[in-house]
Amino acid sequence: MKELDWGRLITAMVTPLDAGLNVDYGQATRLAKRLVETGTDAILVGGTTGESPTLCENEKVRLVEAVLDTVGDRVAVLVGTGSNSTAASVTATKQAEALGASGIMLVSPYYNKPPQSGLYEHFRSVAAATRLPIMVYNIPGRTGVNITPETMARLAEIDNIVALKEAAGSVDQAAEMVKAVKGRMRVYSGDDSLTIPMMAVGAHGVVSVASHVSGRELAEMVRAFAAGKAAKATELHLRLLPLFKALFLTTNPIPIKAALRLQGFDVGGLRLPLVEATDEQVEAIRRAMVEAGVEVKK
């Protein structure tokens, strides 16, 4: 296994916005502190949970700087630098490296649907342009293309490709990924609800959304499973399952921003084309939080 200190619970952080839908950097620093204090081992900034498609480059730079200045001495800070342009991904990756990021996450190119050989060359090219450790992000439901275990096996041979966020929604594929990479990289669940099933077939942990509002419970869950306390991990998983489901009842990050507001931590609205959760959706999220035993203030 390549040396890696990102822990088992990585939070894909939302981007707080103010009343004018400008990035609220002060609230971003407060959120980063909250995540660390509630058990997050590493923070991912500028991923799609952070509304990266609607952030401009200057906003992303300032956001990364703010989080690094606040918690960069306590946890790893990763930056989402992937896009459907290899050249743009290389540029963003070099920028993240210059800012002092701990690593990067590269989502597979979306919409242009490259073949497996194109996916391999994309990730290889970005890896060759940086010394940072890289997490590959496979989420075919959003990108339109699935990275196969065979392609991941080839990517695992590249020294600084060290992890995979697997979000195809299949435990079978997750197991095939673990088998294919032969211990040369860590596999993380990209779905909160599949964390324990995936850890059971060899995944290391989770890149989480739910940890914004249930960080302590999630940290306890993954650490219990890793320590061989499967019954305790299962108990926590089943308790949190209603929350996991509710946070994806509509497009992420709409529900998690609503959930944070229900806990009294307002991260603002969303930029179009994303919209606010409906009253019915907010109520469903609130009920799920109560059922899961997660704090609700509103």
Domain residue ranges of the chain, discontinuous segments joined by +:
9-229
CB 12 within 8 A of CB 49: yes
What was the pLDDT predicted at 298?
65
Q: Which superfamily is assigned to 9-229 in CATH?
A: Aldolase class I (3.20.20.70)
Of the candidates 60, 120, 165, 257, the residue annotated as catalytic is: 165
What was the pLDDT predicted at 3?
55
Q: Which residues pair with 107 in a beta bridge?
A: 137
Across the chain, which has 298 residues, the per-10-residue mean pLDDT values are 79 98 98 98 97 96 98 97 97 98 97 97 98 98 97 98 98 98 97 98 98 98 98 98 98 98 98 98 98 91
pTM above threshold 0.75: yes
| DSSP three-state, residue 105 | strand
229 is catalytic: no
CB 48 within 8 A of CB 252: yes
CB 126 within 8 A of CB 85: no
Tell me the Ramachandran region of residue 9: left when phi exceeds 0, alpha when psi lies from -120 to 50, beta otherwise: beta
Whose tokens are 């509002």? That residue is 213
CB 292 within 8 A of CB 239: yes
Residues 27, 31, 34, 38, Cα dihedral to 10°: 160
Of the candidates 110, 120, 137, 188, the residue annotated as catalytic is: 137
94 is catalytic: no
What was the pLDDT predicted at 226?
98
Give the integer Cα–Cα distance in Å for 192 and 211: 9
**H or E, element range at 246:** helix 230-246
Token pair listed for 84: 């459907």
DSSP 8-state class, residue 112? S
What was the pLDDT predicted at 5?
85
Which of 285, 286, 267, 271 has its CA nearest to residue 11?
A: 267
What was the pLDDT predicted at 286?
98
What was the pLDDT predicted at 107?
98
**Distances from the Cα of 158 to the Cαs of 4, 186, 236, in angstroms?**
14, 13, 36
